[in-house]
């Protein structure tokens, strides 16, 4: 058994201190939240938190009926390091100064995992106040931090463990030991977006008293409530999964036709799933391991499962064909299409052609799941950008906060932050990005019509906040909510 992990090990210089403090959290950490949302931590699994700090994740899980234990060299040294179905190694590798010890801890945590290792690291940019030290940095508190890029993190995990790492989000990876669990996770990623397969989930949402309150509030507000407007989101997430899934269930409750499926949609979903598997180096699951509705779909659409898999592989190869991606972008019935890019709101991704959905999956395999409002797909298929805006629904011309651009051929990405910009890019014509059934589309369209009638949208250089505000003032207008108002003389 390897020695206990030592955080910020003391070296020759006395100025470098051990950081024996740990963040006190009152909610679970991002990696644990991701694993719960993805259905990998359930009431039927037990969890061991390797390097648990003050034990915030352990308390969070136990309070919700999960089986969890933890160990930490400083805060819980008497805890027992023990095997578990799921082992969480959250933000431990960042603080181990000795590279050899860092690798030993990672491998030991993996050995303890019976089915899954969840490993997370910081992938932040290096602050100016940090000083290079070894293969990492000294913080302004004289403690050690090893910071990773996303690509470096994934490569390191796969090299040390000789196993495939699934990127769950920036700085979070899943490493499976259980092939069946790995295949099921892949299937869930392919099919959770289509709610028509989950009639049980839809019916349960309709019966749930908390969900009914959310639906009522959404109808009162005329929009999806923010987390600070509805304090029971955590309860719904425990019952139904991610916030995105809850939003889709909510939209369906408001408009039951929003998620009606069709034979072609089901065929595209199956092709999407079958194309995702080779991207992860996985073999397709056996037909008997798929959910009954999916087995029925395959039998109804293809002569055999083998034919379905063959078509899925051919479908995957079309990702590398720029003409095929351009054709898919042209065929898209949602989003705003420009000569070189297609912009789509996240709520309308379900309606994209299957080839574009696989393209998005490939991008997420590099950066994981992000918080974003729009996705921008290059029509040649070489890049995907995830764009996050401030108050997309409420702000008539929301400002861009962050762009994460993924370069697919190089499997790399870069991040551009606009949060502190005095003149950030802004959006116009918001209705162009969303689907026809989006609850606030009419509100967006009415503002666009008024701005077009006033000749505002034909003006050049309106893509940034200051230029737009100057134009409004010069023309004698202001925006009140989603209404164009004439200034009083």
Closest residue by Cα to residue 72 from 3, 4, 2, 143? 4
Domains of the chain: total: 4
Q: Among 123, 147, 177, give the residue marking a domain's end.
A: 177
Residue 421 counted as domain residue: no
Q: Among 215, 236, 260, give the residue marking a domain's end.
A: 260
Residue 173 counted as domain residue: yes
Domain that holds residue 235: 195-260
Residues 211 and 283 in one domain: no
Residues 201 and 108 in one domain: no
Token pair 């099919």: residue = 191
Q: What is the CATH number of the domain that holds 90?
A: 3.40.50.150
pTM > 0.85: yes or no: no
What's the pLDDT score for residue 225?
A: 80
Closest residue by Cα to residue 410 from 370, 366, 453? 366
C-alpha–C-alpha distance, residues 11 and 285, integer Å: 50
Closest residue by Cα to residue 116 from 198, 199, 223, 41? 41
Residues 53 and 159 in one domain: yes
Residues 40 and 153 in one domain: yes
> Which residue pairs, CB below 8 angstroms and at least 24 apart, start in 304-308?
308/270, 308/271, 308/274
What's the pLDDT score for residue 465?
A: 93
Between the CA of residue 156 and those of 89, 166, 433, 482, what are the distances in Å?
A: 14, 13, 38, 49
Residues 98 and 145 in one domain: yes
Structure tokens belonging to residue 334: 């949602």
- Order of strands, edge to edge, in the sheet holding 144-145? 131-133, 136-138, 144-145
Residue 21 counted as domain residue: no
What's the pLDDT score for residue 254?
A: 67
Cβ atoms of residues 328 and 353 within 8 Å: yes
Residues 49 and 113 in one domain: yes
Residues 40 and 156 in one domain: yes
Residues 63 and 112 in one domain: yes
Q: What is the pLDDT along the chain (489 residues), one digit of tens a residue?
A: 333 343 333 233 333 334 444 444 446 888 998 898 888 999 999 999 999 988 999 999 999 899 999 999 888 888 889 999 999 999 999 888 889 999 999 999 999 999 999 999 988 666 667 777 777 778 777 788 888 888 889 889 999 999 989 988 888 999 999 988 887 787 766 654 444 444 556 778 888 999 999 988 877 666 678 787 888 888 888 788 777 778 878 877 765 443 344 456 667 778 888 877 777 677 778 888 777 767 777 887 888 888 988 888 888 777 778 899 999 999 999 999 999 999 999 988 888 888 898 889 888 888 887 889 999 999 999 999 999 999 999 999 999 999 999 998 887 889 999 988 999 999 999 999 998 878 888 999 999 999 999 999 988 789 999 999 999 999 999 999 899 999 875
Residues 77 and 122 in one domain: yes
Residue 448 counted as domain residue: yes
What's the pLDDT score for residue 25?
A: 46
Q: Are strands 144-145 and 165-169 parallel, antiparallel or unpaired?
A: unpaired
Residues 245 and 134 in one domain: no
Residues 168 and 36 in one domain: yes
Cβ atoms of residues 140 and 129 within 8 Å: yes
Collect all residues with Cβ–Cβ distance below 8 Å to 472 and sequence separation of at least 6.
456, 478, 479
Residues 152 and 281 in one domain: no
The DSSP code sequence of 243-272 is HHHHHHHHHHHH-GGGG---HHHHHHHHHH
């Amino acid at each position: 058994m390897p020695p206990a992990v030592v955080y910020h090990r003391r070296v020759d210089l006395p100025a470098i201190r051990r950081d024996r403090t740990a963040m006190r959290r009152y909610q679970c950490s991002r990696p644990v939240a991701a694993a719960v949302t993805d259905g990998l931590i359930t009431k039927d699994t037990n969890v061991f938190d390797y390097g648990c700090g003050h034990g915030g994740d352990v308390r969070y899980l136990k309070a919700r009926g999960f089986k969890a234990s933890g160990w930490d060299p400083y805060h819980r040294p008497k805890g027992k390091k023990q095997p578990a179905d799921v082992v969480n190694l959250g933000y431990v590798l960042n603080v181990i100064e000795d590279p050899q010890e860092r690798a030993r801890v990672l491998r030991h945590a993996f050995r303890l995992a019976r089915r899954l290792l969840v490993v997370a690291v910081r992938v932040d940019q290096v602050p100016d106040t940090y000083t290079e030290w070894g293969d990492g940095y000294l913080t302004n508190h004289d403690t050690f931090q090893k910071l990773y890029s996303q690509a470096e993190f994934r490569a390191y995990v796969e090299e040390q463990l000789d196993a495939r790492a699934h990127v769950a989000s920036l700085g979070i990876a899943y490493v499976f030991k259980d092939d069946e669990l790995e295949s099921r996770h892949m299937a869930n990623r392919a099919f959770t977006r289509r709610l028509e397969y989950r009639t049980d989930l839809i019916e349960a949402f309709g019966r749930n008293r908390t969900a009914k309150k959310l639906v009522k509030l959404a109808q009162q507000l005329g929009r999806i409530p923010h987390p600070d407007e509805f304090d029971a989101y955590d309860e719904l997430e425990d019952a139904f999964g991610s916030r995105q899934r809850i939003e889709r269930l909510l939209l369906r409750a408001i408009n039951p036709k929003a998620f009606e499926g069709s034979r072609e949609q089901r065929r595209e979903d199956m092709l999407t799933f079958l194309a995702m598997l080779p991207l992860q180096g996985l073999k397709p699951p056996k037909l008997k391991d798929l959910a009954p509705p999916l087995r029925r779909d395959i039998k109804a659409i293809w002569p055999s499962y083998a034919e379905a898999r063959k078509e899925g592989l051919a479908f995957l190869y079309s990702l590398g064909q720029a003409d095929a991606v351009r054709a898919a972008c042209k065929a898209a019935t949602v989003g705003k299409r420009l000569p070189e890019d297609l912009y789509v709101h996240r709520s309308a991704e379900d309606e994209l052609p299957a080839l574009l959905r696989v393209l998005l999956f490939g991008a997420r395999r590099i950066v994981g799941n992000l918080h974003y409002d729009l996705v921008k797909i290059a029509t040649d298929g070489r890049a995907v950008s995830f764009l996050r805006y401030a108050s997309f629904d409420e702000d008539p011309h929301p400002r861009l906060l962050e762009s994460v651009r993924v370069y697919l051929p190089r499997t790399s990405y870069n991040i551009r932050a606009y949060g502190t910009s005095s003149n950030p890019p802004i959006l116009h014509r918001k209705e162009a990005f969303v689907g026809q059934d989006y609850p606030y589309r009419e509100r967006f369209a009415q503002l666009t019509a008024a701005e077009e009638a006033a000749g505002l949208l034909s003006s050049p250089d309106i893509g940034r906040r200051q230029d737009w505000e100057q134009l409004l003032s010069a023309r004698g207008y202001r925006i009140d909510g989603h209404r164009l108002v004439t200034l009083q003389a």
